[in-house]
Every structure is written in structure tokens, then in C-alpha cells.
């Protein structure tokens, strides 16, 4: 079945460590996104990518990094510079379109990161 | 700056009732509006996508409407069931890289 796979589902990190969250999609979508979700808040955009080898910062990119070497993969690294990394992280993808049409957004199951 | 609001934050109704969830936005220059469902600890599941040129979309017991001029969208759920209990989020798109989410309405259906 087509979809978005995030791993790991749960991750624990010690302070000072970098961790990488995986996101893979087989929907053949051009655009991929990383969002952060905190309790009681809406989703906030960390990074997005429209095409391979290109990505843009979102609203809360500080302390995070990404790469887009393949169309189907968009890993997120949470660095030690991120002051409050404990959160639920969601990866999404959509068809990239221009003009007045944008595609439906599909999400993975999420990764919960806890800093010890 | 676009703001998306969902009121109420939580709603509890008895099984079988028809109900309406609300989503309001401040800037009518949108490309589309999407409704999602989120179960605890899970990702978001897309329910309905309404393009800016459309007025409503239907899927099974769900019907979503869009009124850009008033900055409002509603999600109508007919004959609610306990399995409908979840958090429902709306998201407004101003472009493929500018998608603004509401904080959601937590819905509980009492058996």
C-alpha cells in the first residue's frame, strides 16, 4: 500500500545528542514536510522540500536540519542546539503544484521524541 | 497573517446525534481547506479537501462546507458513533509551502 513511513515511533535522547528521524514515502509525491506538534497547539512547520536537493526553512527551523537526496526520503535531524526537542514529530507529503491548485496533504504516523 | 481558529476546543455528545465542527480563518485568499482526524498518539488522517473554487465536499457521513467570504468552514458529522471520537483539525493552504493548522476540536461521542 502507498503511504508514509516514519521511524522510530518512539525515541529517547540524552541532552547533547543529535538524533535523526526517518521519513519515507512511496506516493511519488514531490513535496515533503516536517511538522512539530506540542500539546494543545497546532502543527508548526519545521522544514519543507519541493524537489530533490532543495529544501526551505519553516517557522521553527532553529536546531533542526534536513536533507533530500532522494525523492522518497526526507530525514530530520534534531540537533543538540534545539532547546526544547521533546515533542511529537510528523512527516507529510503532497503533490507539488503551482498556480491555484495544491495537493492533498498526507501524514505519517509520527515519531515521539523524549529528551531525558 | 493568517490565523485559523477552531471552537470549541472540546465537545461531548451522545451517540446518534448529528453535529457540526467549526473552523474559521482570517484571510480569504486561500487555495484550499483540508479537514483531518487525529487519534491519540497517531498521525493525521485526511478526511476531506475543499478547493477554493468549491463550496462543499462529502464522504460517507461527513460533509464539509467552505465559505471564503465569511472565513468559515464547517464539518458536519451525521449519526455520530463512538468510533468518531478523536481530535479534528482543519488546515488552510495559502500555497504548497504555507499551510496553517487550527488547534483542533477534541470530540467525544458517549455511547
Q: What local confidence, expressed as pLDDT, does residue A95 receive?
A: 81
pLDDT 10s digits, B9-55 = 999 999 999 999 999 999 999 989 999 999 999 999 999 999 999 99
CA distance A93 to chain B (A): 10
Rounded Cα distance between B29 and B38, Å, is 26
Beta bridge partners of A66: A76
pLDDT at A100 exceeding the cut of 70: no
| A90/B101 Cβ within 8 A | no
- Smallest Cβ–Cβ distance between A105 and the set B46, B51, B95 belongs to B46
A49 touches B: beta carbon within 8 Å: no
> Cβ of A109 and B103 within 8 Å?
no
Picking from A31, A8, A21, the residue whose alpha carbon sits closest to that of residue A78 is: A21
The CA distance from B106 to B21, in Å, is 10
The cell for A25 is 514515502
**Cell matching residue B36:** 483531518
* Cα-based distances in Å from B86 to B47, B57, B69, B79, B90: 12, 20, 29, 15, 13
- Digit-coded pLDDT (tens) for B59-85: 999 999 999 999 999 999 999 999 999
Helix (H, G, I), strand (E, B) or coil at B83: helix
The per-residue pLDDT for range A27-62, each reduced to its tens digit, is 988 899 999 999 877 899 999 998 899 999 999 999
Give residue A1's pLDDT: 66
Amino acid at each position: 500500500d502507498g503511504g508514509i513511513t516514519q521511524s522510530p515511533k518512539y525515541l529517547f535522547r540524552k541532552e547533547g545528542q543529535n538524533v535523526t528521524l526517518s521519513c519515507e514515502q512511496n506516493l511519488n509525491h514531490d513535496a515533503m514536510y516536517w511538522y512539530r506538534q506540542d500539546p494543545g497547539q497546532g502543527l508548526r512547520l519545521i522544514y519543507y522540500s519541493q524537489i530533490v536537493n532543495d529544501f526551505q526553512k519553516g517557522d521553527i527551523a532553529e536546531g533542526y536540519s534536513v536533507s533530500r537526496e532522494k525523492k522518497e526520503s526526507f530525514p530530520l535531524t534534531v540537533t543538540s542546539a534545539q532547546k526544547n526537542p521533546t515533542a511529537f514529530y510528523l512527516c507529510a507529503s503532497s503533490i507539488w503544484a503551482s498556480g491555484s491548485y495544491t495537493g492533498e496533504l498526507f501524514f505519517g504516523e509520527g515519531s515521539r521524541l523524549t529528551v531525558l | 497573517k493568517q490565523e485559523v481558529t477552531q471552537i470549541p476546543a472540546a465537545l461531548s455528545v451522545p451517540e446518534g446525534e448529528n453535529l457540526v465542527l467549526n473552523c474559521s480563518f482570517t484571510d480569504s485568499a486561500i487555495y484550499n481547506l483540508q479537514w483531518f482526524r487525529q487519534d491519540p498518539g497517531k498521525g493525521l488522517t485526511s478526511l476531506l479537501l475543499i478547493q477554493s473554487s468549491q463550496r462543499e465536499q462529502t464522504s460517507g457521513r461527513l460533509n464539509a462546507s467552505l465559505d471564503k467570504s465569511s472565513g468559515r468552514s464547517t464539518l458536519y458529522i451525521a449519526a455520530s458513533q463512538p468510533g468518531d471520537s478523536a481530535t479534528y483539525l482543519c488546515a488552510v493552504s495559502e500555497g504548497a509551502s504555507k499551510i496553517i493548522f487550527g488547534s483542533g476540536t477534541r470530540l467525544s461521542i458517549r455511547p
